[in-house]
Amino acid sequence: MSERKRRRSEAAAPVASISDGSTSKKPRKQDSHAQGLRKHLKSDAEILASIREMYEASRSEVSSSKAVSLSDLNLSSACREVSDRDVASVQVAIERTVLAVARSILAGSGFSFDVPSRAASNQLYVPEIDRIVLRDKSSSRPFASLSTVRKATVTARVLSLVYAVLRRDIHITKRDLFYTDVKLFQDQSQSDAVLDDVSCMLGCTRSSLHVVASEKGVVVGRLVFTDDGDRIDCTKMGIGGKAIPPNIDRVGNLESDALFILLVEKDAAFMRLAEDRFYNRFPCIIVTAKGQPDVATRLFLKRMKTELKLPVLALVDSDPYGLKILSVYMCGSKNMSYDSSNLTTPDIKWLGVRPSDLDKYKVPEQCRLPMTDQDVKAGKDLLEEDFVKKNEGWVKELEIMVKTRQKAEIQALSSFGFQYLSEVYLPLKLQQRDWL
Amino acid sequence: MSERKRRRSEAAAPVASISDGSTSKKPRKQDSHAQGLRKHLKSDAEILASIREMYEASRSEVSSSKAVSLSDLNLSSACREVSDRDVASVQVAIERTVLAVARSILAGSGFSFDVPSRAASNQLYVPEIDRIVLRDKSSSRPFASLSTVRKATVTARVLSLVYAVLRRDIHITKRDLFYTDVKLFQDQSQSDAVLDDVSCMLGCTRSSLHVVASEKGVVVGRLVFTDDGDRIDCTKMGIGGKAIPPNIDRVGNLESDALFILLVEKDAAFMRLAEDRFYNRFPCIIVTAKGQPDVATRLFLKRMKTELKLPVLALVDSDPYGLKILSVYMCGSKNMSYDSSNLTTPDIKWLGVRPSDLDKYKVPEQCRLPMTDQDVKAGKDLLEEDFVKKNEGWVKELEIMVKTRQKAEIQALSSFGFQYLSEVYLPLKLQQRDWL
């Protein structure tokens, strides 16, 4: 073990000359460029000082600027948001809902649910909090109506199923829920939709209902937490990392001595950083959802950012899709806007790979890919999005992307040597505070 | 914590009546059926005895029947197989290959590689070992030929890149490899194909070249192992489980007091079993690749089965796709036949969900899905496969599937209650030794 680690670090010095296995004496142009950038690297202590400054700035920002909430904006009555609630209080909410229905029947007004509208017309982007939220419009769902009898029945059934799940204090998937009454639900999209309705009705998150999505995220680095009571030390999770649990309410006791969270789009980059134990050189927590962010990873990131008060730096591909992924982490997706406050992590910094990096770090032409017309359209669409427009730096970067019609993956940095990402690119970025 | 666990087990008793949250007094037909099957469950001690018998049988089988290898069949000269090799010996193999080329040049015979053929015509299914292997045909890849100059150059480059990776003792992904010389490789499929060639040439697995695929598998249960030197106790990995590492050569020191390995197709079932800590009631290791098996999970399963000598029971959907997944674990995929001995885990038992279970466990009609024509064709194709034909029980099950034209997911068992899988179905299966 120690032999291997020694060998690895010995080999680290002449990276540019051996990293590509080139045996010719004449260094390739890429190598000499990588060598050149390496010269700009200061000592780790100096880079750490730069990171620490960001960390302090981020903490003081958190403590000085009170987080703006809907009630600060006098919007809490006009807008609806759900929150995490414990098992007992969700059970009480269900009981109240059912009692209200019973009272309505006894009063001769019939069986009916009051269901918040989740339609696009009822959604609102609130710039002050930089999220999409739901307005408070709601509609009645009576049993004694041809158009709503089915939905009212499904709602009653989902309420009773969720109540049973909570009573046993277990978690199930949306698929499990669907299969308990296929005859009634007919199609999973129907039980899924009503599940979201129930979330809104009860004012709690879907996680609080104990109905979870499958997870695909992994985490390594300077983080200790408990997963269902088991203590997990993420510095001791090897290269594979710890799978992020599907049920965030069983996650607790987060502790960390990290200075930042590094959010990585792809698992190849995650593996590189995990194997190089990047988090030991620059104390951080490394997390990836392996592509499109899933709900479990979004909840986990939010939780880390909120409880540990750490700045989040993102490493994504330099293409519209990379930025789209950032937007999902930051602003949420439209069809879960009622839960945006729990799912979104504001203030993520775009570390790289940015369109301007391609020239700055002299990524060879053959490692850049031409953007398709569809890519360019996606880029232009992003330029119209509020969350991009409010960040001048991002607009400039996107304009470069659309103008040059070039994109590049994180993996393109491998052209300078396999460990260029962890040994040169990221340390240099951190040293120069090169994030937006 | 203990409060929660107590509540969970208290609630466990009247499962059928509350599991679906039904509040009506009259039990649904499904519930009374689940209640009926529950009555057949013996004590855990008796079920454990049944499992232990399987475990002992499997161990004695392993020790008595010497594993048949290609050399036992006098096929070792006619067939080619690769094996796991350590860094130093792969480096030596590369040096020898390059020296042979140099000698050939000095002798006036020119620059040329001798590359094993991986074409379908060179593949052979060997029934005695139940795997597809590669015959020993190989062809010359001279530099001084218009048709092979490109491939010869790519081969030289890949050899030199792999050598550099091994020298640093790091791991990279196929995508990293491609990006180190996009100009030469042009397309990732080209560097991928030559990488497989290099594996065959050097007689070592792709893992030994330190080029890894991304992982998506997770594991929980009675297993302790080291991932890159970190000790991982899989009974303390919460509900999320431990992500299976992409690089199997960093996995070591496997220890277990489990009696079997439970291979699960879907992550929803994995989550159910992890949350219920099924492995504490019936000592086992639970593993899933979340759908189509990836190379890392296949290597990990093989490693567990070989080193721990545990029987493997599979829980897959009752459809042709579920059986297809079993076949990938057991017999491998055709395009990696040169590595079949390392990637395949023979003798996996089909525990469920089997076509005959649908009636046996009275899975309600509405939870079964009709098979499409394509499904039926896939089922009929499977009936022609050697690995199915040699197992009479499997043939019968497949015939039922094709005849009834019905399929069902593991999740269909939720119709009897969310914990029916972990509390009734699996214990009953184990008690009755109901695997094929």
pLDDT-derived band at A126 (thresholds 50, 70, 90) equals confident
| B230/A236 CB distance under 8 A | yes
Please give the structure tokens belonging to residue A160.
């009773």
| More confident of the two residues A124 and A155 | A155
* pLDDT recorded at residue B78: 73
Compute how many other C-beta atoms are within 10 angstroms of the C-beta atom of residue A239.
Answer: 26
Model confidence over B73-99: pLDDT tens digits?
777 667 777 888 999 999 999 999 999
Model confidence over A246-258: pLDDT tens digits?
888 889 999 999 9
* pLDDT recorded at residue A402: 95
| More confident of the two residues A25 and B175 | B175
* pLDDT recorded at residue B24: 45
| B243/A241 CB distance under 8 A | yes
Place of tokens 């997706």: A333
> Would you say A350 and A314 are in contact if contact means Cβ atoms under 8 Å apart?
yes
Model confidence over A327-368: pLDDT tens digits?
889 887 766 677 777 788 988 999 989 999 999 998 888 888
- 8-state DSSP, B83: B
* pLDDT recorded at residue B57: 86
* pLDDT recorded at residue B93: 96
* pLDDT recorded at residue A136: 81
Residue B333 CB-density burial (10 A; 0-12 exposed, 13-18 middle, 19+ buried): middle
Calpha distance B323→B320 (Å, rounded): 5
Model confidence over A390-412: pLDDT tens digits?
899 999 999 999 999 999 999 99
* pLDDT recorded at residue B76: 67
Please give the structure tokens belonging to residue A108.
């001769």
Model confidence over B404-430: pLDDT tens digits?
999 999 999 988 888 999 999 999 999
| B11/A245 CB distance under 8 A | no
Range A287-318 burial, b when 16+ CB lie within 10 A, else e: bbbbeebbbbbbbbbbbbbeebebbbbbbbbb
Task: Tell me which of A4, A177, A179, A211 to substitute to probe the interface with B (most B C-beta atoms closer than 10 Å).
Answer: A179
Q: How many CB pairs below 8 Å do chains A and B form together?
A: 239
Compute how many other C-beta atoms are within 10 angstroms of the C-beta atom of residue B60.
Answer: 10
Catalytic residue from among A55, A125, A163, A179: A179
Rounded mean pLDDT of A181-194? 89
Range B137-158 burial, b when 16+ CB lie within 10 A, else e: ebeebbbeeeebeebbebbbbb
Which chain B residue lies closest to A20 (C-alpha atoms)?
B161
- Closest Cα in chain A, distance from residue B123 (Å): 32
Calpha distance A417→A37 (Å, rounded): 13
The closest CB to that of A230, out of B230, B237, B413, belongs to B237
| A175/B409 CB distance under 8 A | yes
Which of A21-30, A323-332, B36-45, B107-116 bottoms out in mean pLDDT, i.e. has the lowest? Answer: A21-30
pLDDT-derived band at B12 (thresholds 50, 70, 90) equals very low
Binding residues of A for Mg(2+): 265, 317
Q: Return phi, psi of residue B293, to 5°.
A: -65, 130
Range A203-234 burial, b when 16+ CB lie within 10 A, else e: bbbbbbbbbbbbbbbbbbbbbebbbbebebeb
Rounded mean pLDDT of A62-71? 65
- Of the candidates B154, B214, B243, the one whose C-alpha atom is nearest the C-alpha of residue A242 is B243
Calpha distance A382→A326 (Å, rounded): 11
Q: Name chain B contacts of A419, Cβ cutoff 8 Å.
A: 168, 170
CA-based torsion, A292, A295, A299, A302: positive or negative: positive
- Of the candidates B65, B48, B69, the one whose C-alpha atom is nearest the C-alpha of residue B259 is B48
Q: Is the pLDDT of residue A18 over 80?
A: no
Question: Is B317 annotated as belonging to a binding site?
Answer: yes
Rg over CA atoms, chain B: 25
| A8/B169 CB distance under 8 A | yes
| Residue A403 touches partner B, C-beta closer than 8 Å | no
Range B348-383 burial, b when 16+ CB lie within 10 A, else e: bbbbbbbbbbbeebbbbeebbbebeeebbebbeebe
Chain length of chain A:
436
Rounded mean pLDDT of A135-144? 89
Q: Going from the N-terminus, what domains does chain A have, and what CATH number goes with each?
A: 29-66+214-431 (3.40.1360.10), 79-212 (1.10.10.10)
Rounded mean pLDDT of B312-329? 93
pLDDT-derived band at B28 (thresholds 50, 70, 90) equals low
Q: Mean pLDDT, chain A, as a whole number?
A: 86
